[in-house]
Structure 1
Amino acid sequence: MAGGTSRRWSRTVRGPLGVTAVVLLLAVLLLTVFAPMVWQTRADAVHPAEILQGPSGRHPAGTDLLGRDILARVLVATRLSVELALAATVLGVGAGLLLGAAPVVLGRRAGRWIGAVINVAVAFPSLLLALFFAVVFGVGAKGAVLAIGLATAPGFARLTQTMAATVAGRDYIAAARIAGVGRIRILLRHVLPNIAEPLVVAATLAAGSALLAFAGLSFLGLGVQAPAYDWGRLLGEGLAQIYIHPAGALAAAAAVILAAMAFSLTGEVVARAIGLRSAEDAVPAARTAATPPRPAAAAAEIAPLLAVENLRVTFPVRGGQISPVREVSVQLRPGEAVGIVGESGSGKSLTALAIAQLVAAPGRVDADRLEFLGADLRGRGAAAHRRLLGTSLAMVFQDPMTSLNPTHRVGHQLAEVVRRHQGADRRAGWARAVDRLRAVRIPAAERRARQLPHEFSGGMRQRAMIGMGLMAGPALIIADEPTTALDVTVQREVLRLLENIRTADSVGLLFISHDVTVVAQVCERVLVMYAGRIVEDLPSAALLGDARHPYTRALVAAVPGMATDRDRPLAVIPGRPPDPARLPSGCAFAPRCPLATDVCREQDPPPAAYDDGRRVACHHADLAPVAVAPQETTAGRDQS
């Protein structure tokens, strides 16, 4: 990895952009440090006999009204100009970071108010804001620093807010939350490293802009005051004689432009060379490490692992609220695999997030019963719930590339679980991470643990995500469409891995998918969701051939098989799923159901129990086999 970083630096710095940036920045920094030592006396020396002389060998940029050497004064002014610009940039960037990151730390409600303040401030031109604050804080260098810093902050805050909001929605942030990671740690470890590259470029551009802004304020007499001087003040002094002595003004202007270019180009080079990836040092893996004990569950064989009754998820909207998930009930025992299927938007993933306590405000989760390992998750013991869920519940998301933090090495991300919840030290956490990567059959696990997620293939990333879930010995794995983005070969490997984990350690599995054939193969029981509600709960053996709900049979028929007639159109479910904000009266599936009658359109059917343990919410469940043509259903079965 060190060799790769060195090569990136070498290639970037040797390019035209890199050479230009290095030369300019080095010149600015050398002048900032050494110019006052070398040219201060020459810059302050007054020569009445040499007033307003033009460029010459003795004075390359001429002299001013007191006969002082203009070039020497421009060189000496580098230190004050750069120091003030950097001070204003640090103030502006710091304030912008605090404002822009506020929604991540304080939550949406407070973040919404801060966002409104940012939006109002951004509406004003930064130069106008700088002039306003300069008047408020008064004339002088200190007031100018405050003015330019505060004028820079809104634009930087808007950028931070936008980038942070994009990253905050990623799956690895959700995983960090379920692991009990605090908001500030999430911000510092997961959000800021992933948005650092554009922020550094913006900060270096802000430094160049601050130089120009300071020159402008000093030029107007609002910045540096006599006897001190910076480039802006020298520019103002030279402007009065620009028609008879232009070199006096042009020297200071050239210094401002070149210094601003130095900072801007340097930021581009740094971002291009290293991408600001995490600089965490690799930790030598210990040879052996004790496997953390699994949480005790004294009544695991008696009480269900997960018990959910009448789960509801609501969101406020203008004029009321909507319920994308309603009346969901499920029980899952140790070692049992339960699948949830349905069309996109049916509420599958939201149900999983609600169980894992990952529905963020203003969403609200209610249930008559919501227990995991005997603990009531409806209570207010947030810290205890985070520890329980972080160690005993594993989430495997659909897209592993958004589930793993791209700026941290895979091993460090896995180790964070046991370090956070079980107090393991760094070495033990690393050893556990390597062991879990081996457990999910990732070759060369010790070497792979030191790599970044982009160095893994798609299947390896998904297995690494499963390995992360196994770090603390979970009792339940919630797999939210874990094979959707994988090819069939890798899909089979991932499914086999989940099955081995489930049977070896009696781990419960809640498997979410839109593929009914995969669910029928993996799970023992299947829940079919439509419009946020479970419409059928049946054994997986009956899913492909003996479903009783018309919607379930339509899902099965829509899956083509080897015996599907290619000369006929593929089977589809007519119509579209309903909008949660405008659910029809009666059965939500009635507008698309071939068996719908007046009673279906007027009354929402309650779940009815059958002797084989299934539950079906349909007024005409016994007539469902005629809802879909038999040959279409057979085509769906062939796929299995």
Structure 2
Amino acid sequence: MPHHDHDSSLRHRLGRTLRTPIGVTALTACLLVALVAVLGPVLLGDRAAQIDTDAINQGSSAAHLLGTDQLGRDIAARVVVATRLTLRLTLLATAIGVGGGLLLGVVPAVAGRRLGRLITATVGVLVAFPGLLFLLFLATVFGVGTTGAVFAVGLAMVPPMARLVQNLTASVAGSDYVAAARILGVGRFRMVVRHLLPNIAEPSVLFATQAASGILVAFSGLSFLGLGVQSPQYDWGRLLNEQLNRIFVNPTAALAPGAAIILTGLMFGLAGEVLAQAGGRRAPRTKEPAPRQPPTAARETAADSDGGALVRARDLRVTFPGGRQAVRGISLDIGAGEAVGLVGESGSGKSLSALALADLVPHPGRVSAGTLRFNGDDLRADPRLGTELAMVFQDPTASLNPALRVGRQLAEVAEVHLGASRAQAAARAVDRLGAVRIAAPERRARQRPHEYSGGMRQRAVIAMGLMGKPKLIIADEPTTALDTAVQRQVLGLLAEAREESGAALLLISHDLAVVAQVCERILVMYAGLIVENLPVTELLDGAAHPYTRALVGAVPTMTSDPGKELATIPGRPPEPGETGAGCPFAPRCARARERCRADAPVLTELGPGRQVACWYPVEPAAATSHTAKATS
């Protein structure tokens, strides 16, 4: 949902993430390991190096918690002291691997075609080579010792890191906003720093921290084999080697270094998860301070200020990198129980407007609004809607997990949001499948999505939205790719769902006939703006905006002449960022004048329940004449 300016900073997102259970655990573990690494050699360095020939190879005791080694040195103290060197070498090798992987991963996306192909092919060959053999080969090349082991382990991490980054940047580099940045002449370094790396941060951080765990194990393995840290230095791998022969005599001494390796590896994984959440879209969001008045009173006050509207949005915008606005400051109200249609050509911003209300705008899109309220709650402070909002997407196949049974997917909604038991949720899922007219719901609930027809999948998605008690149903092109009979069934189900639950409906479509069957009011969008708001009863003969009139004229009727071509709208809709100072529809409008090309009109009142954004709206009489000509 919309982020405040301070919420967009990494510092605030990291702070919020650290207050979650996983954040507290990771922070505690990191601080504990850091303290051991910093203070261990200072406090226990002398004890770890002290040789006592009278206490050689002793077992655990009060004086020596883990016993002693073959020179009488305290093993527990040596494990603690070895923490600093082990971590330092692990982090150095990780820095080499991550740095080299990022470099080789992003270069193909910004370099020339030949160089990019050469680097990609080289990385592919290195990834295909067995990792363990590649590590041992590098260890042999760099020689025995700490320095050689650091470079060997670090460089062995470069190929898999580079392959991951290459795959991620390839998908990002094909995005429209990257293409726009190239056209604008953005330099390669800025392209990498501003557009590529931020959008691959989360998986890259996760991979790097998981690789750090692997590097810790690999480095300890080299030391265990005698190829890493050499005497008199020691790390956990070398300590493990020293005590392996006594594992049956003093197992705690041999297992202690291994336990340290495992626990520190888990710490790296937890730290990576926290950093990934803070750097990506999964960071938890803080709520605004609770109001002093009771929540019920607060809602009633907010609802009164909203004029009784269930949804109120003012100056709602969806912005993508490069300053491109796909939704350019729309304002809308949806009353409780009202059915509103949102229509327009593809690319007009209909779906993004609905996704902004549901906090589902895909990354890296950002949502902002002057006012954004749902049922009296400020969605800018807390965007979570729970089961109060149901979303029916255009493609039900993408909405349903193909690996799970349909009933299980529906039941999960009740378990997570309503606190129902597994049995109660399963019974509710069967009941909802029956409510949307799916025959034999008990049997169908045990089936997977591929066993459903297209219409049944769409009905199942509607049933998923009705698992709770929604106050608003957003249906985004719910009848696309369905035949006429199934379309009628789906629209009937939406009408029944409204009647049963009293929910409001926001129906998104480019099909005016579909919207006219279900909705009471229509919002017409063009180029990210609402250009007309009118009752559905006035759509055919009373539309005032030339764009709305053109949409109506392009719809065939029963009286249309079969030998005559349908009316079309010349030109194409503007892309985000292409709109100039004037009316965005002016280049395609036959009524456009000089004022239209110079100044953009705003949405103004045209009568009761009517608004239009046009300098020269079509008069009702002219609209009727225009419609007659378009449909004759």
Q: CA deviation at 1:510?
A: 0.2
Match of 1:601 in 2: 597
- 5 Å-filtered alignment, 1:59-78, equals none
| 1:586-617 CA distance string (max 9 Å, x none) | 11111111111111111111222123220011
3-state secondary structure, aligned to 2:498: helix
Aligned length: 392
Letter in 2 for 1:567: G
Letter in 1 for 2:565: P
Q: Does the aligned pair in 1 maintain the 2:388–2:468 contact within 8 Å?
A: yes
3-state secondary structure, aligned to 2:561: coil
- 5 Å-filtered alignment, 1:463-542, equals 463-542=459-538
Letter in 1 for 2:628: Q
Match of 1:610 in 2: 606
3-state secondary structure, aligned to 1:629: helix
Q: Does the aligned pair in 2 maintain the 1:545–1:633 contact within 8 Å?
A: no
| Distance 1:146-1:621 versus aligned 2 partners, 3 A rule | same
| 1:417-436 CA distance string (max 9 Å, x none) | 12122222222221111111
Q: Does the aligned pair in 2 maintain the 1:133–1:147 contact within 8 Å?
A: no
Q: Does the aligned pair in 1 maintain the 2:106–2:169 contact within 8 Å?
A: no
Q: CA deviation at 1:152?
A: 7.3
Match of 1:308 in 2: 313
| Distance 1:127-1:418 versus aligned 2 partners, 3 A rule | same
The answer to whether structure 1 residue 581 and structure 2 residue 580 are counterparts is no
Match of 1:570 in 2: 566
The answer to whether structure 1 residue 361 and structure 2 residue 363 are counterparts is yes
The answer to whether structure 1 residue 452 and structure 2 residue 442 are counterparts is no
Q: In the aligned structure 1, how far is the partner of 2:425 from the partner of 2:171?
A: 28
Q: In the aligned structure 2, how far is the partner of 1:445 from the partner of 1:595?
A: 55
Q: In the aligned structure 2, how far is the partner of 1:368 from the partner of 1:128?
A: 52
Match of 1:416 in 2: 412
Letter in 1 for 2:342: I
Q: In the aligned structure 2, how far is the partner of 1:149 from the partner of 1:326?
A: 48
- 5 Å-filtered alignment, 1:195-594, equals 303-317=308-322, 321-379=323-381, 381=382, 385-386=383-384, 389-594=385-590
| Distance 1:135-1:616 versus aligned 2 partners, 3 A rule | same
Deviates more, 1:302-311 or 1:474-483: 302-311
Q: Does the aligned pair in 2 maintain the 1:550–1:593 contact within 8 Å?
A: yes
Letter in 1 for 2:363: A
Match of 1:133 in 2: 135
Over aligned residue pairs, what C-alpha RMSD do you find? Answer: 3.7
Match of 1:629 in 2: 626
Show structure 1 runs of 5+ residues with no match.
Answer: 1-101, 103-110, 166-185, 188-221, 223-295, 636-640
Q: In the aligned structure 2, how far is the partner of 1:491 from the partner of 1:593?
A: 32
| Distance 1:445-1:128 versus aligned 2 partners, 3 A rule | closer
Letter in 2 for 1:483: T
Match of 1:14 in 2: none
Q: In the aligned structure 2, how far is the partner of 1:498 from the partner of 1:125?
A: 52
Match of 1:260 in 2: none
Q: In the aligned structure 1, how far is the partner of 2:155 from the partner of 2:124?
A: 8
Letter in 2 for 1:307: R
TM-score under structure 1 length normalisation: 0.55
Q: In the aligned structure 2, how far is the partner of 1:356 from the partner of 1:350?
A: 10
Q: In the aligned structure 2, how far is the partner of 1:298 from the partner of 1:114?
A: 57
Q: Does the aligned pair in 2 maintain the 1:122–1:154 contact within 8 Å?
A: no
Q: Does the aligned pair in 2 maintain the 1:341–1:512 contact within 8 Å?
A: yes
TM-score under structure 2 length normalisation: 0.56
Letter in 2 for 1:350: L
Q: In the aligned structure 2, how far is the partner of 1:431 from the partner of 1:115?
A: 50
Q: In the aligned structure 2, how far is the partner of 1:619 from the partner of 1:162?
A: 45
Letter in 2 for 1:306: V
Q: CA deviation at 1:118?
A: 10
| Distance 1:390-1:123 versus aligned 2 partners, 3 A rule | farther
Deviates more, 1:306-315 or 1:491-500: 306-315
3-state secondary structure, aligned to 1:621: coil
Q: Does the aligned pair in 1 maintain the 2:314–2:369 contact within 8 Å?
A: yes
Letter in 2 for 1:330: L
Letter in 1 for 2:551: L
Q: CA deviation at 1:361?
A: 3.2
Q: In the aligned structure 2, how far is the partner of 1:128 from the partner of 1:510?
A: 53
Q: In the aligned structure 2, how far is the partner of 1:128 from the partner of 1:566?
A: 64
Match of 1:258 in 2: none
Q: CA deviation at 1:578?
A: 1.3
Q: Does the aligned pair in 1 maintain the 2:546–2:618 contact within 8 Å?
A: no
* Fraction of identical pairs, as percent: 53
Q: CA deviation at 1:117?
A: 9.0
3-state secondary structure, aligned to 1:535: strand
Q: CA deviation at 1:146?
A: 7.3
Q: Does the aligned pair in 1 maintain the 2:105–2:161 contact within 8 Å?
A: no
3-state secondary structure, aligned to 1:391: helix
Q: In the aligned structure 1, how far is the partner of 2:572 from the partner of 2:406?
A: 41
| Distance 1:502-1:578 versus aligned 2 partners, 3 A rule | same
3-state secondary structure, aligned to 2:555: coil
| Distance 1:606-1:152 versus aligned 2 partners, 3 A rule | closer
Q: In the aligned structure 1, how far is the partner of 2:333 from the partner of 2:572?
A: 30
| 1:233-279 CA distance string (max 9 Å, x none) | xxxxxxxxxxxxxxxxxxxxxxxxxxxxxxxxxxxxxxxxxxxxxxx
Q: Does the aligned pair in 2 maintain the 1:578–1:584 contact within 8 Å?
A: no
| Distance 1:480-1:125 versus aligned 2 partners, 3 A rule | closer
| Distance 1:550-1:127 versus aligned 2 partners, 3 A rule | closer
